[in-house]
Amino acid sequence: MNNLPFEQRLEILADSAKYDVSCSSSGSNRRGTPGGVGSTAAAGVCHTWTADGRCISLLKILLTNACIFDCAYCVNRRSNDIPRAAFTPDEVVRLTMDFYRRNYIEGLFLSTGVTRSADHTMEQLIVVVRKLREVERFNGYVHLKVVPGADPLLVAEAGRHADRVSINIELPTRQSLALLAPDKPREAVITPMRQMSGLIASARAERKKSRKAPQFAPAGQSTQLIVGATPESDREIITLSEGLYRRLDMKRVYYSAFVPGSDDRRLPALPTPPLLREHRLYQADWLLRFYGFAAHELLDEDRPNLDMRFDPKSDWAVRHLDLFPVEANRADYEVLLRVPGIGVRSAQRIVTARRHARLGEAELKRLGVVLKRARYFLTAGGRYLGGIRLDGAVLVARLLAPEKRPARLDQLELFPATADASALTGEL
Amino acid sequence: MCYRYDGTFEGFLCAVAAHLESGGTEGEFLRPGVEAGAGLFAGDSRDVATERATALRFRVRFVTAVSREAFATLRYAFHSEAAGIERLLLRYVELGLKEGRRVQHMLAKEPVCSVYRLSRRVAHEAHRFTGFVRFREVAWPADGGLAGGDGRDGPAVSLMYARIEPETDILPFIAPYFRERLGDRPWMIHDLRRSALALCYRGSWRLVSGVSLAAQPGYTAGEELCSRLWRSYFQRMAIPERHNPRLQQSLVPLRFRAHLVEFDGVE
């Protein structure tokens, strides 16, 4: 399988890698070194976006797409009849450097199918990242996949060279995992995850004492869940994510709408990937991480799934109308964050600006606060901005079909706020 | 009084310093290439020389009186090249010197609000271009031996060359970023709109203005191969079942695509 021309192998391995949705290059801040190449930017940098609107930040590639596992949801499963290919570590290093020097990418995201054994496969990945760091003196971003069941010593070594490490849970419950991924017991995923969480925390503590202490995955660890391949509810998914964020200090949980690509009878027959559901899950995920929400506030036993009609924050607010409207000039930062349509940046600006000026509707607009949804939940200087009585049914109707303003008025906006697509693209 | 300056940020700071020193109330600014309007002060103008020391002194004064962040905001906003930016920034400076640190929090008031917006626009575009700059390897010297003599000194040297057409003047912001990242080899970023160039050689960079190409750059063989690999990788990474060109276009607007290798010949 190494006899194919390089270009063809690149295509095969890219095809096999693209279903992993993690793409971020953030969380690590490494300066360039004399004689070395590259640096990392704390906020991460997206370099381009493909025809499906997903960003390319890292060269996402498999070392090989041959795999001894047979996970039903995975395109690279043993029983799938697709062309197989492999790169040598030197080829990956060369390609990474060539792409990096042209500023196509922020670095490398290396994953692989499992060949021979978990340990052998993990060793191969480590060879690549060590060559990059030690021979090429590469300071750019490296995201390394950890192979389920790999030896703890190898896991520890991977984190010493990589900026971010990840191991994918893929399916939210033990039962689903046993059904669809019989070679991958849940322990083989959770154990290294726990180990890495411990190593990341202790390396961080050591770095606080001495700046020379060795780093371990400074950009933390992430994981991925497939949505729609198994019958779990949104509540189970979001509760699991909350646990991962709180207990394992996970940096990101990615959600991947299941793309049907097999006639395996264990899998549901979906006409299209559940993209809207994926989007709502990302919105809920953001509420957990940046808006101070808890999973049980968004979903409970009676409502196990997110409302597909509006975003989870609007949904929550409509069910808690007794808490609204709040006064923009007085409400605490945490309260402002819970107003639909107000994001972290708007809330920060409101809190900053109101120290020096009384905020009315005009001032809020000048700050760049988007009032389309927020107006129904805000008073500014004592005046309610919604114009209608706060009543559940009316409000829901308004939120679903916002009043169309004449196009002429829209043109007056000199600096229209750009839509926040980060939830869709998975950047940050 | 109307101040003529050379159009650079340093020059602008010198002009502002001159205006503040004169104690005048109204100030207008003229940069080269902008026609003098028949304004109030059209007849009364003065040329301001750009002196690094004066600009640095002004910077220290502003940072001490207000803050580093406010100075950064001022610098970003200046490079937006928006019409009337100088007068807006003069008001910002005057307010800053009067109000001190508070000024950067007065986001709901003019001129702070407008200055802040413009500075964010420039900062955002600069960040975007840290991802959108595409270097291409060109043979250097172009004809095989202009600078180095007869070519016996060693193999042909190559240079990484990138073209951009940003809406604002972002070269001063992205040049240090790329120096740190890729400064071990010579590179150039060419802003076609402003005929300006950031060039990095032996680990240090500088800006050159008024640049035009004498000949089209010739790409090396390695460059042709590498860009082909990138294009094919780029196309492969899209998942057909998730096809969403509208989302793609909102993230990579068409105006950026002319200089993005991966969009060459792609719909």
Mean pLDDT of chain B: 85
Chain A residues with CB-CB distance to B73 below 8 A: none
ipTM of the complex: 0.88
Nearest to B252 among A48, A140, A353 (CB): A48
Residue A62 lies in a domain: yes
Q: Which of A10, A355, A366 faces B105 most closely, judged by CB atoms?
A: A355
What band does B151 get if pLDDT is binned at 50, 70 and 90? very low
**What is residue A428's predicted lDDT score, i.e. its pLDDT?**
38
Mutation for A interface: B233, B236, B254, B259, most A CBs within 10 A: B233
Of A227, A238, A111, A112, which Cα lies nearest the Cα of A171?
A: A227
Q: In the structure, what pLDDT confidence band is assigned to residue A409 with cuts at 50, 70 and 90?
A: very low
Q: What mean pLDDT comes out for the span B232-251? A: 92
- The whole-number average pLDDT for the span B44-54 is 84
Q: Which of A283-292, A315-324, B132-141 has the highest mean pLDDT?
A: A283-292
Average pLDDT over residues A152-165: 93
Burial of A350 (0-12, 13-18, 19+ CB in 10 A): buried
The pLDDT tens digits for A181-212 are 888 888 889 999 999 999 999 999 998 998 88
Give the highest mean pLDDT range of A20-29, B29-38, B258-267: A20-29
A428 touches chain B (CB under 8 A): no
Q: Are A329 and A220 part of one and the same domain?
A: no
What distance in Å separates residue B46's CA from the closest CA in chain A? 33
A53 CB neighbours in chain B (<8 A) are 242, 244-248, 251
Out of A201, A224, A247, a domain closes at: A224
Q: What's the pLDDT band for A423 if we cut at 50, 70, 90?
A: very low
Q: What is the domain count for chain A?
A: 2
Are A331 and A207 in the same domain? no
Q: Check pLDDT > 80 for residue A118.
A: yes
Identify the domain containing residue A63 by its residue range. Answer: 6-224
Which pLDDT score, from 0 to 100, does residue B191 have?
93
Residue A427 lies in a domain: no
Confidence of residue A427 (pLDDT cuts 50, 70, 90): very low
Q: Does A41 touch chain B (CB under 8 A)?
A: yes
The amino acid at residue A1 is M
Burial class, B235, CB count within 10 angstroms (exposed 0-12 / middle 13-18 / buried 19+) = middle
Q: Cβ A60–B261 below 8 Å, yes or no?
A: no
A134 near A113, Cβ under 8 Å?
Answer: no
The whole-number pLDDT of residue B35 equals 64
Contact yes or no for A54 and B133 at CB 8 A: no
- A195 contacts chain B (CB < 8 A): no
Q: Are A40 and A29 in contact (CB under 8 A)?
A: yes
* A93 and A211 belong to one structural domain: yes
Band of pLDDT at residue A412, cut at 50, 70 and 90:
very low
Is there a contact between B131 and A45 if contact means CB atoms under 8 Å apart?
A: yes
Lowest mean pLDDT among B22-36, B59-73, B154-168: B22-36
* Confidence at A213, pLDDT banded by 50, 70, 90: confident
Q: How close, in Å, is residue A301 to chain B by CA atoms?
A: 31
pLDDT, position B40: 55
Q: What is the pLDDT of residue B27?
A: 79
In chain B, the percentage of residues whose pLDDT exceeds 90 is 49
DSSP structure string for B96-158 = HHHHGGGGGG-TTSTTHHHHHHHHHHHHHHHHHHHHH---EEEEESTTS-SSSSSSTTSSPEE
B73-106 per-residue burial string, b: 16 or more CB within 10 A, e: under 16: bbbbbbbbbbeebbebbbbbbbbbeebeebbbbb
As a whole number of angstroms, the distance between CA A28 and CA A143 comes to 11
Hey, CA dihedral for A316, A322, A328, A329, is it positive or negative? negative
**Domain termination residue (choose one: A161, A190, A224):** A224
- Chain B residues whose beta carbon lies within 8 Å of the beta carbon of residue A7: 228-229, 232
Least confident window among A297-306, B207-216, B248-257 = B207-216
- pLDDT value, residue A345: 92
- Segment A274-295 mean pLDDT: 94
Helix (H, G, I), strand (E, B) or coil at A380: strand
The CATH number of the domain where A73 resides is what? Answer: 3.20.20
pLDDT confidence bin for A266, thresholds 50/70/90: confident
Q: How many helices (H) and strands (E) does chain A have?
A: 17, 11
A417 confidence band (pLDDT: 50, 70, 90): very low
Can you give the residue ranges of every domain in chain B?
2-127, 133-263
CB-based contact (8 Å) between B233 and chain A? yes
Rounded to whole angstroms, the Cα distance separating A227 from A260 reads 11
How far is residue B98's CA from residue A208's CA, in Å, rounded to a whole number?
A: 40
Work out the angle at residue A225's Cα, subtended by the Cα atoms of residues A223 and A227, and round it to the nearest 5 degrees.
160
A335 pLDDT above the threshold of 60 = yes
Return mean pLDDT, chain A.
87
A224, A254, A283 — which closes off a domain?
A: A224
Chain B residues within an 8 Å CB radius of A356 = 102, 105-106, 108-109
| Average pLDDT rounded to a whole number, residues B124-144 | 85
Q: Which residues of A touch B236 (CB under 8 A)?
A: 10-11, 14-15, 18
